[in-house]
Amino acid sequence: MSSYPSSAQRVEEWRHIRVTRDDGVVTVTLDRPEKLNALTFGAYADLRDLLAELTRERSARALVLAGEGRGFCSGGDVDEIIGATLAMDTAAILEFNRMTGQVVRALRECPFPVVAALHGVAAGAGAVLALAADFRVADPTARFAFLFTRVGLSGGDMGAAYLLPRVVGLGHATRLLMLGDAVRAPEAERIGLISELTEEGQADARAAELARRLADGPALALAQTKALLTAELDMPLAASVELDANTQALLMHGEDYAEFHAAFTEKRPPKWRGR
């Protein structure tokens, strides 16, 4: 818990997502299986607020993002979002689009690793949520589709034009964002869009195993690694090397660094404290 807690009250029950907690591992499940977990305004807002809460509390050491039913997420709900935005003025539409981007930023900037557990469809906004995770664990049924141009919008939605080229390269990103064609699991693994391909039906279990491994690891070191990966995407080498040096100098004064040396000397596993 932060020494400077927020005055915001913790939310005990989330209305639009299912949240479970298990000793530092938080599992967030998109839970509208009858709609292939299509996102609503409320689901976006809950994801944004939950990630902010977990970041404030510093209670989460890893997060799993999963989908209930036949697929991960089919994107924004056609009636509840696309239909509704047709009646909005420009200011309201801009506010909504900024909120969706805030979810992606929160996934990238939260101080704990995020593992997406993928099966079935990950389309539109669902594909971008998966893209924003640190790890994408998928089974052979998984398929990605960045569908924004198919509905007459820019393929660069929610940060996709920033993130996707950095994951799969500019050539693949151009094809996926402009054409909106589905990418099935074998190709997604080949171009680097999938971190790990599992046996069918095993993505959730494997994602949970990976999240547990991460949560039991050196939390502060992992948080700083994630922060540097994001920060250094647009830095020149000299600035990156200097940031790395400053980060390591700080971590070398941490308890976990000393604990590793003590554990090595005493021939035992280290007891990480995230400090």
CATH code of the domain containing 83 = 3.90.226.10
- Kindly state whether residue 10 falls inside one of the protein's structural domains: no
Which parts of the chain sit beneath pLDDT 70?
A: 1-8
Number of domains in the chain: 2
Output DSSP code: residue 83.
I
Would you call 67 helix, strand, or coil by DSSP? Answer: strand
Q: Are residues 210 and 221 in the same domain?
A: no
Q: Return the CA Rg of the chain.
A: 19
Q: Strand 143-145 relative to strand 121-123: parallel, antiparallel, unpaired?
A: parallel
User: What whole-number distance in Å separates Cα of residue 120 and Cα of residue 35?
Assistant: 13
- Residue 236: which domain range? 217-264
Q: Are 68 and 33 in contact (CB under 8 A)?
A: yes
pLDDT for 10 equals: 76
User: What whole-number distance in Å separates Cα of residue 55 and Cα of residue 114?
Assistant: 12
User: What whole-number distance in Å separates Cα of residue 56 and Cα of residue 2?
Assistant: 7
Other residues' Cβ atoms within 10 Å of the Cβ of residue 122: 32
pLDDT digits (tens, 9 = 90+) for 178-190: 999 999 999 999 9
Q: Are residues 125 and 169 in the same domain?
A: yes
Q: Are residues 105 and 160 in the same domain?
A: yes
Q: Are residues 119 and 189 in the same domain?
A: yes
Q: Are residues 36 and 156 in the same domain?
A: yes
Residue from 120, 119, 181, 116 nearest 146 by CA: 181
Report the DSSP beta bridge partners of residue 25: 22, 62
Distances (CA, A) of 106 to 46, 50, 90, 102, 239: 12, 10, 24, 6, 24
- Kindly state whether residue 6 falls inside one of the protein's structural domains: no
Q: Is the pTM of this model over 0.95?
A: no
Residue with the two structure tokens 């990630």: 51
Q: DSSP strand E in 85-134: where?
A: 114-118, 121-123
Number of alpha carbons in the 13 Å side-chain half-sphere of residue 121: 19
Q: Strand 143-145 relative to strand 183-184: parallel, antiparallel, unpaired?
A: antiparallel
User: What whole-number distance in Å separates Cα of residue 32 and Cα of residue 58?
Assistant: 28
Q: Are residues 186 and 50 in the same domain?
A: yes
With a CB cutoff of 8 Å and minimum separation 6, the contacts of 55 are 106, 109, 110, 111
Amino acid residing at 147: L
- Kindly state whether residue 166 falls inside one of the protein's structural domains: yes
With a CB cutoff of 8 Å and minimum separation 6, the contacts of 187 are none
Amino acid residing at 198: T
Q: Are residues 161 and 236 in the same domain?
A: no
User: What whole-number distance in Å separates Cα of residue 13 and Cα of residue 16?
Assistant: 9
Q: Are residues 222 and 88 in the same domain?
A: no
- Kindly state whether residue 275 falls inside one of the protein's structural domains: no
- Kindly state whether residue 271 falls inside one of the protein's structural domains: no
Q: Are residues 166 and 256 in the same domain?
A: no
- Kindly state whether residue 135 falls inside one of the protein's structural domains: yes
Q: Are residues 256 and 161 in the same domain?
A: no
- Kindly state whether residue 9 falls inside one of the protein's structural domains: no
Q: Are residues 76 and 65 in the same domain?
A: yes
- Kindly state whether residue 23 falls inside one of the protein's structural domains: yes
pLDDT for 80 equals: 87
Q: Are residues 189 and 54 in the same domain?
A: yes
pLDDT for 7 equals: 54
pLDDT for 2 equals: 45
